[in-house]
Every structure is written in structure tokens, then in C-alpha cells.
Amino acid sequence: MEEKVEKGATALVPLGCTGEHIHEDIRTAVKDAFGAEVTVIGRENCRWTGFDVERRQYAASDLIECLSPLRAAFERVLGVASADLSYPGVNHVFGLTDPESRISVISLFRFRAKGAPPGKIAQRAIKTAIHELGHSYGLRHCKDHRCVMFFSFNLADTDYKNREFCKSCMKEISSILKADARKRKEV
């Protein structure tokens, strides 16, 4: 584990060939949305399990479990996987968050399908990262199709929504962030 890790920051853990520009795009977007610093750290900090060879997918819940040791040094953890993610009962998930442990994972796999241009892939990754981190701050799904907290059933939903919060989600996240900042001051 690196020594300069800081409490309060979000760790971004690339898993597979994810691409440095994507990390940078996500880092900037997360800083804009939540004011949180993002530190990119190596996957060697975690022991990966749960790859389903037949379905060629990682079990999203297993990845979240693998990332949990990092919570000792980071407030939040975001895994960015190049492989597809599975979840019981559905074909795949774009991302998953455990709000209690504040650990999220997203997958770039489907964002890259059908030769999508890099700009589009980055937009999809940014929206999904903000959506999942939003859950880690306690936000729920929003009915506004343009809001980043809208649940994406498919890529068209992801492409249609903005990377921003709607007015009401913005109000909620602002008060959560304010309360967080107050708590940090008290400690």
C-alpha cells in the first residue's frame, strides 16, 4: 500500500485495460461533482476473485468485497473494470455500489461496444462513476431521465442523461456534502 494515502479521498482502482485518460476524466468529473480528491492506485493492492470463465464476467459483489481493505485508507473506493460485471438475476450491470461500505464498481465493457468513439466511452464512464458514487453518498434513483441519478436500463438511457444532478438531487447532495464537511471539522 502506498504511504501518501489520505482519509477523505476516493481511491480509483483500475482493473484490466482501462486507459489513463479515462482515469483522468473520472478524476476531474468526481472532483467537480463532489469536491472529492481521487487517487489512482494499483490493482496489486487487492486480490481479485470471482471471474466467471463461462460468462466472461466478474461478479460485481465479489469485486466490491476485494476492494474493501482499501477503506482503511480511503473514504470511498471506485473500481473501474474493463471486463463485464455480473449480478444475480440480471445479464449484467453497468455499475454497483454498496452504500454501507461506500465501495463502487463500474465496467467499461459495454461502453466500448460497437466501436464507440473514445469521447462517448468517457462520457458513459463519467456518468456511471458519478451515479455510483452518488449512491455511496446516500442518493437514490431519480425519475428525471436527464438526471445522472436516473437508473440506466440500457446505453441509450446513459447517453440521454446528463452527468449533472437534477435540481432536487443537487439540493440533496449539497446538504449531504455540507453535513460531511461539518462532521470532518468536528473530528
Q: Give the shortest CB-17-to-Zn ion separation in angstroms.
A: 25
- How far is 5 from 11, CA to CA, in rounded Å? 9
Amino acid at 186: E
Handedness of CA 115, 119, 122, 128 (dihedral sign): negative
Nearer to Zn ion, 49 or 87 (CB): 87
Q: 139: buried, middle or exposed (CB in 10 Å: 19+, 13-18, 0-12)?
A: buried
CB of 3 to Zn ion, least distance (A): 34
CB 105 within 8 A of CB 61: no
Which of 2, 44, 65, 132 does the annotation list as catalytic? 132
Site for Zn ion in 13-42 (CB under 5 A): none
* Interface region with Zn ion, contact rule CB under 5 A, candidates 27-35, 105-113, 122-130, 167-175: 167-175
Out of 62, 144, 157, 164, name the contact with Zn ion by CB under 5 A. 144
Other CB atoms within a 10 A radius of the CB of residue 112 amount to 16
Q: How far is the CB of 4 from Zn ion (least distance, A)?
A: 31
Could you list the beta-strand ranges (E) of the chain.
10-15, 38-40, 51-52, 57-59, 76-81, 84-87, 90-93, 95-98, 103-107
Which member of 38, 64, 147, 173 binds Zn ion (CB under 5 A)? 147
Nearer to Zn ion, 109 or 150 (CB): 150
Rule CB under 5 A: say whether 85 interacts with Zn ion.
Answer: no
Cβ proximity to Zn ion: between 73 and 131 the closer is 131
Which C-beta is closer to Zn ion: that of 67 or that of 169? 169
According to CB under 5 A, which one of 67, 77, 125, 149 is a site residue for Zn ion?
Answer: 149
184: part of which helix (H) or strand (E)?
Answer: helix 167-186
Classify 154 as helix, strand or coil: coil
Max Cα distance, the chain (Å): 50
132 as an active site residue: the answer is yes
Q: Catalytic residue positions? A: 132
- Binding-site ranges for Zn ion (CB under 5 A): 142, 144, 147, 149, 166, 169
